[in-house]
Chain A
């Protein structure tokens, strides 16, 4: 069974970490990740850019583009895509296509800062 582990934390707090502290945390995480990689169990790992870089597409008719992250609490996270796009407009086009295929709810479009594609054995 594959499990997704979704990371939540206070963004402002993490943003207040010193560069040294950030690097220290990343180093410790790398140790755990390396172990999983060697066992062929680690899939994609992403560090997302801050929520200030996020845009939300409400999958209404017509779809509504809102600045900022997805902020409702009525809906739950059900899945995610990682798509290579030239810019935000292209990412929004992809999201609109997906939304047309499956209306209702919302997509948060957030640029990825760092991606390790991983190599999980399926």
Chain B
């Protein structure tokens, strides 16, 4: 390992626990962050000589706390700094604090730290930016880059979000069981948001935004280590792993979208798939289904199919049916219709999405999917109209390019491909 790479890795992995505990001590996010920064500076100074401490997080918490206390005293009165004998004898103290941090506290510390980032008043983008800055410790510059905005704009966004969180006064007492599970739901949703921010990138920005997906997976694994028996957290982690496993196959050299059935499956990441499948297996044993588990199970069926034609569409149709009950949404029905078109043909699928038209009249995918069904039914003029509408609604150039490919195919062949339902 290079000289400081191990320190960077140690600081990154200790950060959620350390900042979470410091937040509990100081009850103020800025103070906690500053104390943590001070502890990191000290680590950079002393670790290269002394080697890593046995428990990096406990070391950082204790050093950070002492630094923070000094800071509070200094700003309160201009009194002379006390001799900090507390940190002169780090080794003994480190052992002592490690005993006290037996894990019962830090689980709630990390959850609280994640939870304050997903305050309902914060718009999604601010929640994500807060989590990446405060929990993951990404620099403002890194976050700005992933969001494709200027550093100054991102700095302002985070400052504003922090101010709002400070007003919200999240309680610092140990949460009860009900509150804990409510927090867990919000935090899981926020992690999924972070992931989607990276996953929904178009081909030309996918590489820049991939760290968002990786960070979401890291946070999700962290959450699962803290809450080992929560099937929905297993489901969430599995879902992220299974989706991210396809990253290398999702775009062509020009950045255009490659649909699932056209992807080169040899490019899928087998290690991530194995982990995702193992987690969904674990989750299913609990027989307490939920939206993340169902979505992960759908993803798992795609991952298990070596060739597109091996896909168990009937099972996917059933799973989307279950998801429709748990999370009724026209978008879920639209996704289900794709499975239905494979099982029962394009007419059944078209009948299914027809009633969604009023609610999805501005949704790109609705017209893309509708156009595809119409094309399969040889209704080329109507298909063309749907595709034109989809292009008008496309969010990225890659989406538009993908639909244009369908249109080109329509123009070229007076007749659509003979295979009605692939």
Contacts and interface: CB of A to CB of B under 8 A. Distances in A.
Nearest to A56: B228
Contact of B282 (A13, A53, A114): A53
B275 A50 contact: yes
Contacts of B12: 16
Contacts of A89: 281, 285
A53 B279 CA distance: 6
Interface string B228-242: 110000100100000
B9 A13 contact: yes
Nearest to B10: A13
A1 B366 CA distance: 66
B13 A113 contact: no
A37 interface: no
Nearest to B15: A16
Contacts of B282: 53, 55, 67, 88
A21 B5 contact: yes
A43 B5 CA distance: 31
Contacts of B281: 87-89
Interface residues of B, number: 25
Contacts of A67: 228-229, 234, 282
Nearest to A92: B285
Contact of A65 (B1, B222, B237, B285): B285
A97 B218 CA distance: 35
Nearest to B2: A21
Contacts of B56: 13
Contacts of A83: none
Interface in B289-309: none
A84 interface: no
B193 to A, nearest CB: 21
Contacts of B278: 49, 53, 88, 111
A113 B276 CA distance: 11
B93 interface: no
B229 A68 contact: yes
17 contacts: A10-B13, A12-B225, A13-B10, A13-B13, A13-B56, A15-B218, A16-B218, A17-B9, A52-B221, A52-B237, A65-B285, A66-B229, A67-B234, A67-B282, A68-B228, A68-B229, A113-B274
Given A67-B228, A68-B229, A88-B285, 11 more contacts: A13-B56, A16-B10, A25-B1, A49-B275, A52-B234, A52-B279, A66-B229, A87-B281, A111-B275, A111-B278, A113-B275
Interface of B: 1, 5, 9-10, 12-13, 56, 218, 221-222, 224-225, 228-229, 234, 237, 271, 274-275, 277-279, 281-282, 285
